[in-house]
Structure 1
Amino acid sequence: MKLNDDLIKKLEKLYTPSTMVDMEFRGNDLSFKTDEEGNPILLFIGKRAADGNVRGERYARTLKYDREGNRIKDHWELKGKAT
């Protein structure tokens, strides 16, 4: 599954730093972990199981910055199944 533009816009926002955030988006359950700045960096998308974990797909985000702190790379990569 490719991440659509609306979901990417939602993931570009800043959230509470160093936490796991749970939400629903267009019928899918989302859980994502944020870094120390509040950027989502690890995403689980699918259906939430009874134990609270999301079963579906797992994505990781690559963020690279230059020396001035400008973002030069922002990429989500499918890492496989989330169980």
Structure 2
Amino acid sequence: MPLSPKLQQILDKTYEPAQRFDKQYSGKDITYMTNEYGEPVTLFIGRRRDDGSIAGERYVRRIVRKPGSHDILKSHWENKGKVSR
């Protein structure tokens, strides 16, 4: 399932580097983690459990940078499947 445009807008922003963010989006729990540049690179969508983990879907962002810089040339989110543990 592709990500919705509104969720994509949230994930296109830059945040604190190497952090975890827990939020609610459209009635579901989301958690995303950022890389050393503050770009979200891992996303979990589903229902949050008591221990803080999420049972649902996991997505990973693939980023291609411009040669010799940190600017993003292109990126996309890949669905890596269900997370139930």
TM-score, normalising length: structure 1: 0.93
Residue 67 of structure 1 and its aligned partner are, at CA, apart by 1.6
What do residues 40-81 of structure 1 show as CA deviations (whole Å, max 9, x unaligned)?
000000010111101100000001112253322210000011
Counterpart residue identity of residue 7, structure 1: L
Q: Any residues of structure 2 matched to 1:44-55 within 5 Å, and which?
A: 44-55=44-55
Task: Quote the Cα distance in structure 2 between the aligned partners of 1:76 and 1:22.
Answer: 18
Runs (4+) of structure 1 exceeding 2 A deviation are none
Amino acid of the structure 1 residue aligned with 2:82 = K
Gaps of 5+ in 1: none
Q: Which residue of 2 aligns with 1:67?
A: 67
Gaps of 5+ in 2: none
Cα distance in 2, alignment partners of residues 47 and 2 from structure 1: 18
Measured after TM superposition, the shift of residue 22 of structure 1 is 0.5
Identical-pair percentage: 40
RMSD across aligned positions (CA):
1.1
Length-normalised TM-score, structure 2: 0.91
Amino acid across the alignment from 1:34:
T
CA apart distance, 1:9: 0.5
